[in-house]
Amino acid sequence: MSLEHRELGQSGISVSCVGLGTVKFGRNQEVKYPSNFALPSDEEIVSLIDQAKSLGINLLDTAPAYGSSEQRLGRLLSDRKDWVICTKVGEEFVTGKSFYDFSASHVRKSVERSLLNLNTDYLDLVLIHSDGNDVAIIESTDCLEALSKLKECGLIRAIGMSTTSIEGGQKAVDLTDAVMVTYNPACSKDEAVIDHALANRKGVLIKKALNSGHDCEGGVEKNFDFSLNHPGVTSIIFGTISSAHLEANVQTAIKVLA
């Protein structure tokens, strides 16, 4: 069996039901994984991307806050048209620390930089990288307006938000094409956001389905089954720089959907 692909809401974008997160391609400082790791070489990244493609993955998730991830993808990705690239705006990671800027001017500069870094003339999906104050970002900044204008200009195919609250997630569903939420058996509060997205035919990406590499009760299969088989979920994003881990997760996704 092959890896299932699903429509990202009404965006017209089809994505694999699991996507490859690339924070480990470019950043190993101030991350919340259970063990330290060295950044992979260019050769290792190329091999992992080729493997992901051969397994049926077409979704790559990156962000300016992921260190050199965007730059490395832009330099090493040879078949851009075959990939759906999701990146973000709002969070920056400089000299080992994060800071946030949701102003329209910063959003425009961030998108222009991402286009340059990723060596592309369009971005498939751009998410607001929330600092935890979802509602305030939506209601009190011009971040979303700026993204909408960039979408109208054709630089972005779809926009959304990576949220932390139910209220913020539901507002993002109402105003954008997709949301990214945390959803696993140990943290299921965002189910209300997923259900709202389903009712409104919007896309849903899942972050931390495997609890960021920490112990997850019941193991990978239980967590994948919990997320992938919930109506409304489009795709799970998981990060890895391990070929074996990548293969195992894809096979688990195929198994739970069989």
52 touches 246 (CB < 8 A): yes
* Residue of 33, 66, 100, 183 marked catalytic: 66
210 touches 242 (CB < 8 A): no
> What does residue 121 show for φ and ψ, rounded to 5 degrees?
-105, 5
Residue of 87, 41, 57, 24 lying closest to 239 (CA atoms)? 24
45 touches 25 (CB < 8 A): yes
Task: Determine whether 122 is an active site residue.
Answer: no
112 touches 106 (CB < 8 A): no
Residue at 206: amino acid letter: I
The Cα–Cα gap between 15 and 5 comes to 5
Residue of 40, 163, 62 lying closest to 119 (CA atoms)? 62
Residues acting as catalytic residues: 66
